[in-house]
Structure formats: C-alpha cells, structure tokens
Structure 1
Amino acid sequence: MLKRAKVIILHRMPYSDSSLIVKGFCSDFGVQSFLVKSAKSKNCPFKSSLDPLAESEIVFHDSGKSDLHFIREASLIDWFPHLRKDLEKNAMAEVIAEILLRYLSAGPSQELVFRYTEKALQILDRGEKPQETLVRWMWHVADCEGYALSLHECVRCGAEIQNFPADFLFENGGALCQNCLGVLQPEHSPEFLADIARLSTREQLHNPRFLECEFFKYLKNHLGENREVKSYHWLQEVRNYAFCKTDS
C-alpha cells in the first residue's frame, strides 16, 4: 500500500555501499524507518529532501509485513538553512530529533507533536526568541504525551494560582500555592517561578536554560527508559565553548 506523509528527518545511517536507512517522524504515523536504495548515487532523485532535520513530503510503500518501508517519492518542504549555520541552534534541533527518535513510538498519529516540532524548527531557523524554543517544545510534548504539569492550579488543594506559584514541584506534577507551602522555603527562586508562569504566555523568559534543564529531566523520567541523550550533552558543550570564547 502506498502512503503519503509529511516527515521530519531525524537520522540516517548506511545500509550498504549504496543505500541508506532513514529514520523520520511522520505526522500521521509517528517515527518510521525507511530504506532508500541508491541514496549515495549522484543521480539519486531525493538529494537534500532526506537530509537530517529536513522537512519533506514522501510517498512510501507499506507492505504491512515489515517495519522497514521503501520510499518512492520525496520532495523537500523546508531545509531550515539558517539553523544549520548556527552551532547552538543546530544542537538544539538535534536534541529535539533525538528525543523524538528515542521516546516516540511508531504507529499512532502524532499530528500535534509534529506541528509543535515543525514550529520549533521554524523558530530556530528564522523566528524570534530561539533561546526559548527547546524548553517550550518540551513543555508541549509533555502535555501531548499525557504528562502535563499544572501551572495555574495548586497540585495539592486545587486552588487557582494568582500571578506565579509559591513553589513548583516537578515530582508532584506542578505548582504549589502559598497556603500549601506554608512556612517552608520554596525550592525554586522567584525568577524561576515567574518563568514557569510565563510558559503558557508569549512573555519572554528570564532564564530559559535553567527551565530547560528541569524540563529535560522531567521529560526523560516520564517518557520511558531513562537513557542518555547524547545531543543534550553536546548542546551544553557548545554553550560552554561559546561562553568561554565570549569571556576571553
């Protein structure tokens, strides 16, 4: 059976001297594996449409007997050229790709996650506030996968949170009101708690990297096997290098 889908290319690897296996995230079919014959040939018609982090429309054959599908057609929608020229933006996009590859399954429709991923890549490529992209994407994915955090209601008493929470408990699922916190000291700083409240708005975050780190740990703990995401370590190295270079 021939199927058509929009796909974001997550990864590719050699299969033979001339062929590649491509991992892609499809809006209608989740993460899928594809065999591309003669992909290394200079006459291959697909070219950049199957590059990692490219968004394309493909037609593939699904026999129903194998998890490896054959791509018949591929046309490029967006190559996101600007994010490829920026080391930090490219590293952030690689984190998104690796999380999708490791934790999202094949089969069920992931249209909402696909739209958030598509939007994240567009912002990294040419949008405003690219430094906030990864944390906002992880927040949306947690929501889509059934691990939404409560931002506007206290997780203990259900009271509405005014302005920003008195504290935030990732292990308990969200915000804490002042009455439930009582005389205890909050775990997080006022700046962090204000940023938590801003997640559901378009207001600029003060420290998106710290929020990003906490959401990354939360997402890993809830999406399944707590495996290392190598691209996230690479992202930190890129940032440390940029900081050292600026500081010097």
Structure 2
Amino acid sequence: MIKTRAIVLHRFPYSDSSWIVKALTEETGTVSFIVKGGKRKDSPFRGALDPLALCEIVYRENPNTELQFLKEASVINWHVHLRENLLALAKAQVMAEIVLRYAPAGVPLEGEFSLLEEALAALDAPDIKLPADDNSEVKLPADSEVKPPASNAPEVKPPAGNSPEQDAAPSLPAGIKQSANKSGVFARWLLDICELWGYHLDMSSCSRCDHQIEGAPADFHPETGAFVCKSCLGVETPRARPETLAGFETLRTGRAIAHPEFVENALLAYLRSHIGFMREINSLKFLNETRKLYDRSR
C-alpha cells in the first residue's frame, strides 16, 4: 500500500458516475487512477481529486495495469484563492499540462512535484498590493465572458468537510518564502523546470563574449537560449521585444514584472525548441484568451 501526497493534473469522465484522474505524486511520479463513483455527491473522494488540488492519497500499486484503484483521498490544499483568479488559474493549468505531457514517465519526480507545489502555493497566496507602476495583478471586469474549460475549473467553493485550517488563508510549503507579488511565478517555474530537465539558461552572461550582462540583456534567442550584451549586439536589430528583455532582468533580480506574458512566451519558446511540443498544449489557448481580457482591463 502506497501513501503519498499528490497534485491532480487532469481529470476526465469515465462513465456517468466515474472519473479518470491523472496525478503527480510525490513518491511515484505521474499515476493514472480510475475513481468509480467519484461524480456522486456522497463520494468519499469529493473535492480531493479536483484539478490542481493538493491531496493525500492511499492506493495499492498494480504493475499489471495502467489504471490504479484509489483506497483513500483527502484534501490538503484546494487552492481556493487560485481558483478565484482567472489568470492565475490559466497559468496553473499550463504548468500542470506541461508536467503531464512532458515529464519523464515511470520514475519518481520529486523535483517536478516540489516546483509545482511551490508555484501553486505562490499563486494561491492572498494578493499583496504593489505600487501602481509595478503591479501586474489586474481585477477582471464583472461582465467577463471568458470562462475556464469546464473539466478543469470546478466551481470556486471549497469542498465540504474542509477543516478551519484549510479554509483559512493558504500558507506556502515549509521552507518556501512568499514573494512580494505573483507576476513572476509562472516565468520562474518555466525557468526552474528548464533547469531541472537539463536546459540551463544563463541570464547573467553574454553568450558571445562571456562577460557579465549589466542591466537588461540586449537580445535573446529562444531557439538556443543565448543572451547577448549591448556591446556584442552593436548596431544589429534585436530579435526580442523590449518587454521581453526587461522581463528577464526583473526575473533575475526578483522584482515585479510589468508585462510577464512576454518573458513567459520567450521561455515557452525556449522549452518548445528543446522538447518539441509535438503535441499541442491545449491550455495555452485559454491562457492567451485570458491575457487578452486582462490587457483590455488595464
């Protein structure tokens, strides 16, 4: 019998009353479960297996089948604040889908679990007011029509049975410090997952002269991960947008990123050039639609 913490990456219907759940476990990597009766209102698994929930599960591993049967599941953190923020939810879905599609299969994934747990906890933390010129968190208009996919976005209501501790403001995992803002969470996660998977990015040195880059880099090439300093760029026209280059500097220094979507897209392009992205990341479409909505409300 295996008892481990897990983050629900994806869930889809198996029948009128059951789910197929794909989860990232702390000890055994990605595991697929069949949850019979999981849709019923009186299901003992209700809430614990919602997408993006952090839970504790107990199951007996059967090496002869791909689908495992759950014995127990209980909520640790449902990430209620994350679910109330459409942009944070969209970014969390992309992170979960990247791990599901591209993390190594059949092996423990302690690093991937730790990074995703930390990122979800940071996105779930209560908003902190930032200076007006540095605040990337924007309130959505009340009549917003963009909605997350139904299968990945349960009603924003904590599952019944949560303890007072679970209903209170979320806390970050032990040893993790809360950042002053959420603008760099997704970009930092992309940077860290690239590092974990062996695609190191050196943001501090020029790829041509090896000298330290002062301030923002003058250019960035996502297909190679090369940063270029102002001296080496010379009179060449940079390929990267100014917002992207400024985003890399603020990401390196830990400050709030004014327009995080530019550096996020650059890091996604870098990751794509290395792992292929042969299959489409479906949740990217929802993220891009949500970004447009936030841009209109700035």
Name the amino acid aligned to 1:45: P
Is the CA contact 1:29–1:106 (under 8 Å) kept in the aligned structure 2? Answer: no
Residues in 1 aligned to 2:225 and 2:288: alpha-carbon distance in whole angstroms: 26
Residues in 1 aligned to 2:246 and 2:87: alpha-carbon distance in whole angstroms: 25
Q: Spell out the pairing of 1:217-228 with structure 2 (5 A cutoff).
A: 217-228=269-280
Residues in 2 aligned to 1:228 and 1:38: alpha-carbon distance in whole angstroms: 31
Query: How many angstroms does 1:204 deviate by?
Result: 1.8
Report SS of the residue matched to 2:58. strand
Is the CA contact 2:221–2:240 (under 8 Å) kept in the aligned structure 1? Answer: no
Query: How many angstroms does 1:144 deviate by?
Result: 0.8
Query: How many angstroms does 1:191 deviate by?
Result: 4.7
Partner residue in 1 for 2:219: 167
Q: 1:177 to 1:88 in 2, by over 3 A?
A: closer
Measured against aligned partners, the alpha-carbon deviations of 1:70-116 in whole angstroms (never above 9, x if no partner) come to 11111211000112122222212111122122222322222222222
Residues in 2 aligned to 1:172 and 1:224: alpha-carbon distance in whole angstroms: 13
Name the amino acid aligned to 1:126: A
Report SS of the residue matched to 1:9. strand
Is the CA contact 2:201–2:225 (under 8 Å) kept in the aligned structure 1? Answer: yes
Residues in 2 aligned to 1:42 and 1:190: alpha-carbon distance in whole angstroms: 51
Query: How many angstroms does 1:7 deviate by?
Result: 0.8
Indicate the structure with greater strand content. 1
Is the CA contact 1:21–1:34 (under 8 Å) kept in the aligned structure 2? Answer: yes
Structure 2, unaligned stretches of length 5 or more?
127-179
Q: Spell out the pairing of 1:35-46 with structure 2 (5 A cutoff).
A: 35-46=34-45
Residues in 2 aligned to 1:193 and 1:40: alpha-carbon distance in whole angstroms: 47
Structure 1, unaligned stretches of length 5 or more?
none
Report SS of the residue matched to 1:88. helix
Identity of aligned residues (%): 40
Q: 1:86 to 1:165 in 2, by over 3 A?
A: closer
Residue 231 (structure 1) aligned with residue 290 (structure 2): no
Residue 155 (structure 1) aligned with residue 207 (structure 2): yes
Residues in 2 aligned to 1:52 and 1:219: alpha-carbon distance in whole angstroms: 24
Q: 1:114 to 1:151 in 2, by over 3 A?
A: same
Name the amino acid aligned to 1:27: E
TM score, norm. by length of structure 1: 0.88
Residues in 1 aligned to 2:226 and 2:182: alpha-carbon distance in whole angstroms: 25
Partner residue in 1 for 2:124: 125
Query: How many angstroms does 1:67 deviate by?
Result: 2.0
Query: How many angstroms does 1:48 deviate by?
Result: 0.6
Report SS of the residue matched to 1:206. coil
Partner residue in 2 for 1:34: 33
Query: How many angstroms does 1:27 deviate by?
Result: 2.3
Query: How many angstroms does 1:189 deviate by?
Result: 4.6
Residue 7 (structure 1) aligned with residue 59 (structure 2): no
**Comparing 38-47 and 192-201, the one that deviates more:** 192-201
CA RMSD of aligned residues (A): 2.1
Report SS of the residue matched to 1:93. helix
Residues in 1 aligned to 2:285 and 2:222: alpha-carbon distance in whole angstroms: 22
Is the CA contact 2:60–2:68 (under 8 Å) kept in the aligned structure 1? Answer: yes
Query: How many angstroms does 1:51 deviate by?
Result: 0.7
Is the CA contact 1:8–1:25 (under 8 Å) kept in the aligned structure 2? Answer: yes
Q: 1:163 to 1:131 in 2, by over 3 A?
A: closer
Higher RCO by CA contacts (8 Å cutoff, separation 6 or greater): 2
Report SS of the residue matched to 2:223. helix
Query: How many angstroms does 1:202 deviate by?
Result: 1.8
TM score, norm. by length of structure 2: 0.75
Indicate the structure with greater helix content. 1
Query: How many angstroms does 1:240 deviate by?
Result: 1.9
Report SS of the residue matched to 1:12. strand
Query: How many angstroms does 1:188 deviate by?
Result: 2.9
2:293 to 237, 241, 245: 241
Query: How many angstroms does 1:211 deviate by?
Result: 0.8
Query: How many angstroms does 1:200 deviate by?
Result: 3.1
Partner residue in 2 for 1:145: 197
**In the comparison of the two structures, how many residue pairs are matched?**
245
Q: 1:198 to 1:131 in 2, by over 3 A?
A: closer
Residues in 2 aligned to 1:151 and 1:243: alpha-carbon distance in whole angstroms: 27
Partner residue in 2 for 1:107: 106
